[in-house]
Amino acid sequence: MTENTLAQFKKELDIFVIIVSMNMAAGALAMALAMTYIIVSIQGQPAWQIPAHLRILVAILFMIGFGFGLNWIAASGRILRGVKPVRREYRRRTGPVPDETLTCWIVRVLAHYRGNRSTIRWMVPISIIGGSAFLLLGISNLAQGIFGADDPFRWFAFTAAAINMTIGCASIACVLYFRRYSAAWDERIETAARSEQALQCALERR
């Protein structure tokens, strides 16, 4: 039983670390992009032929986006911090893993998930909103590139569209995997809670 359990545990943890890392990368890209737009909107470059007060509004919106990106990275980092030490331990281990060690890893990850359950759940809707916003922005950039035939910054619009749509797709992909992870671990927490009765009986028996 231990070998299969261990293989499943390792696989899940490895995939989860990849997803959270992708999430962090999406957050960093969002921050970088927000910073670019803040600078462009404040400077009022020719590509932005909009009134000054609107430019300030856009800059404020992107500052909020920057803050979200920063928060996003911090939250992802917190989640990663709890999982990485366990991952490091099983990667370092060369011999067979004793039952107790494996149970200890499971308990640690379960406890970590319990502690961060609300953050992981919040990441799902925020990622959908963020991803959709980036996709919309990408579509508008694409439209700007296609229909702005006389616009000298047309190619800049295509580049922006590619970046925005990549971030949008990555965010939405992260959501799908996060939801799967969240559902699997919610079920595990419920199963563990149901097992508590058996544990209680075992403790009270004496």
Partner 1 sequence: MAGRRTPYEIYWEILVYCKTPRGFTAIINRCDLNSKIGQEYLEFLVSRQYLAVVTDRERTSYQATPGAAEYITLFSSLYQKLFDESPGFRL
Is residue 2 near partner 1 by the rule CB under 8 A?
Answer: yes
Q: Mask of contacts with partner 1, 133-152, x by CB under 8 A?
A: --------------------
Q: Which of 82, 151, 158, 169 binds partner 1 (CB under 8 A)?
A: 82
Shortest spacing between CB 90 and partner 1, in angstroms: 13
Task: Compute the distance between CA of residue 195 and CA of residue 197 in angstroms, rounded to an integer.
Answer: 5
| Distance in Å, CB of 50 to partner 1, minimum | 42
CA angle 54, 56, 61 (to 5 degrees): 95
The count of other CB atoms within 10 Å of the CB of residue 37 is 20
- Residue 35's CB is within 10 A of a number of other CB atoms, namely 15
- The tokens for 192 are 């563990």
Convert residues 164-203 into a mask of x (bound to partner 1 by CB under 8 A) and - (unbound): -------------x--xx-xx--xx--xxx-xx-xxx-xx
Q: How far apart are CA 60 and CA 41, in angstroms?
A: 10
The correct pick among 16, 37, 62, 134 for binding partner 1 (CB under 8 A) is 16
How far, in Å, CA of 20 to CA of 16, rounded?
Answer: 6
The nearest distance, CB 189 to partner 1, in angstroms, is: 9
Q: Between 63 and 173, whose beta carbon lies closer to partner 1?
A: 173
Contact 110, 188 (CB under 8 A): yes
Residues that bind partner 1 (CB under 8 A): 1-2, 4-5, 8-9, 11-12, 15-16, 18, 82, 99-100, 102-104, 106-108, 110-116, 177, 180-181, 183-184, 187-188, 191-193, 195-196, 198-200, 202-204, 206
